[in-house]
Amino acid sequence: MPQHAGGSLSDALFSADSVRRIDQYVIEKQGVDGFDLMQSAARAAFRRLLVRWPGVEPLLVLCGAGNNGGDGYLVAANAVRHGLTVHCVAVAPVEKLTGDARKAWQKAIANGVEVRQLEDIDEPELASLFEAAGLIVDAMLGTGVSGAPREPFAGLIVRCNNSGLPVLAVDLPSGLNATTGAVEGDVVQATMTVTFIGRKVGLYTGQGVAVCGDVIFESLKAETGVAGSGENPVARLQHWQAVRNWLPARPANAHKGRFGHVLIVAGDRGFGGAGLLAAEAAVRSGAGLVSLATRPEHVTAALARCPSVMVHGLIHGSELPALLAAATVVVCGPGLGQSSWGQQMLQQVVESGKPRVLDADALNLLSSRVVTPASNQVLTPHPGEAARLLGCPVPEVEADRISAARKLQSRYGGVVLLKGAGTIIASRPETVDIAGGSNPGMATGGMGDVLSGIIGALYAQMPDCTRGAETPARAAILGAVVHLEAARRASASKGYMGLIPTDVIDALPQVFRESEPASNSSGEEI
């Protein structure tokens, strides 16, 4: 198995259906009582509540009809036993409760929880419950619900979001699709989400990143059930601490020829900065040599900005093959434009057969071409570019980001990195990788150019960059994670609104330094 497809069970991301089957396996095959499992989930959620919001009260617990509602009733029971004031509202009529959810309601009543049915609460009283609350516990809609929430859930979701109160979501925020990360209607904006048994993939990409708040995973000691059930993850969560050892070690006698030559083909008239951002990011990401092929009018500015880059002014595509011959990896697309100049450049890059990273306008041009899938390429579309490549509307891409990335990978080959919150990297049919986390400061022009330069540099440094699907996949995963980590560090001092691409480039050396072994750089005996 490729290393990037491995990892621990805690990094495995499952569909909602898979998690339900794992839950069923734990109950039916391992003999764990379903109600005991529900009680464990409620205790775990309540413990997290106490750690995050010690002493906050009263709690307003909103419970639905299924097992998610059962979790809520038991959280309320734990809170009452702990001495907290609790207002518990049965959003779904309690007569509809069955199985373990009904047992949970009965236990809550037995423990002194006063459960009010929503249908018995008038508007002024409901408003006062929200006004008096210190914290909302959302246990309304679980993983079995699909489509836009209906009333009365939709109205309560809006009320939760308008309350200004912190919200603890039990398992997932109501209204979120736990498999796709999409939202079809109203969705709870949680401050923290405590999820159980298996990580649901929808919490880590798309709208899930925006609405879940801090995601806390509680396995409920079901790891053996995850393994024994035979359920395969649909994705793997990747983060800096897990992948930083993928960087190739640098021997003491290293020289620039060992770390690849990245050629950036970018920057039509008016877009010279895009190519320069990609080139400077490649330099800061350890490439041995970096060349920039751009319009002649950008050469002086590029050399003044970054003299480490070899800059070539090109008028016509026929000038590119000599530069391509010397390159290990080509990054094509940032600021490329869609004029004849950009078309000529892309044509030469594709025909060269060189390992390549295609971004921005290279993707827009690619969408109108008949191309042969290539195993040695990385495509890095944002949702708009992905929609053009697939010939579908952008909402269709965002409705199921994982499916869109897989379709692109099947059509174009190689590796597809679908940008956005919870960036998706698809390199093989059975599962994808997701770069864990997001950063709103990255929502500005030029961040994608930096990413393409990082990936190009990492791809060029891999020892077998000219063969095998594993190399571009590793470069794409590592590049996405490094990009996000550098942005996190830069925003810690710059904030989100003022973050610009060069801030991320400046943070790259600090990130990469953590992957380097401690050494005596002077070479003296110690």
146 assigned to a ligand binding site: yes
What sign has the CA pseudo-torsion 114, 115, 119, 123? Answer: positive
476 assigned to a ligand binding site: no
143 assigned to a ligand binding site: yes
Contacts of 341 (CB under 8 A, 6+ apart): 268, 295, 316, 317
Whether the CB-CB separation of 432 and 442 falls below 8 Å is answered with: no
Distance CA 465, CA 415 (A): 13
Report residue 184: phi and psi, to 5°: -105, -15
87 assigned to a ligand binding site: no
Beta partners for 378?
Answer: 357, 415
Range 403-410 contact pairs with CB under 8 angstroms and sequence separation of 24 or more: 403/180, 405/432, 406/432, 408/379, 408/381
147 assigned to a ligand binding site: yes
423 assigned to a ligand binding site: yes
494 assigned to a ligand binding site: no
Distance CA 15, CA 238 (A): 17
174 assigned to a ligand binding site: yes
DSSP H or E segment with residue 62: strand 59-63
436 assigned to a ligand binding site: no
144 assigned to a ligand binding site: yes
456 assigned to a ligand binding site: no
193 assigned to a ligand binding site: no
414 assigned to a ligand binding site: no
68 assigned to a ligand binding site: yes
Distance CA 113, CA 122 (A): 20
128 assigned to a ligand binding site: no
Residue 209: strand, helix, or coil: helix
Q: Which of 237, 91, 224 is nearest to 155 (CA)?
A: 91
Whether the CB-CB separation of 500 and 442 falls below 8 Å is answered with: no
Residue 252: strand, helix, or coil: coil
255 assigned to a ligand binding site: no
361 assigned to a ligand binding site: no
82 assigned to a ligand binding site: no
382 assigned to a ligand binding site: yes
Whether the CB-CB separation of 376 and 358 falls below 8 Å is answered with: no
Contacts of 335 (CB under 8 A, 6+ apart): 266, 267, 268, 270, 271, 272, 273, 274, 275, 360, 361, 449
Whether the CB-CB separation of 494 and 441 falls below 8 Å is answered with: yes
449 assigned to a ligand binding site: yes
DSSP H or E segment with residue 139: strand 135-139
The residue assigned the tokens 């990580």 is: 199
41 assigned to a ligand binding site: no
Whether the CB-CB separation of 153 and 174 falls below 8 Å is answered with: yes
Query: Which segments of 212-305 does DSSP mark as H helices, in order?
Result: 223-229, 240-243, 272-284, 299-305
- Show binding-site residues for AMP: 419-423, 448
- Show binding-site residues for (6S)-NADPHX: 67-71, 142-148, 171, 274, 335, 382, 449
- Show binding-site residues for K(+): 68, 138, 174
- Show binding-site residues: 67-71, 138, 142-148, 171, 174, 274, 335, 382, 419-423, 448-449
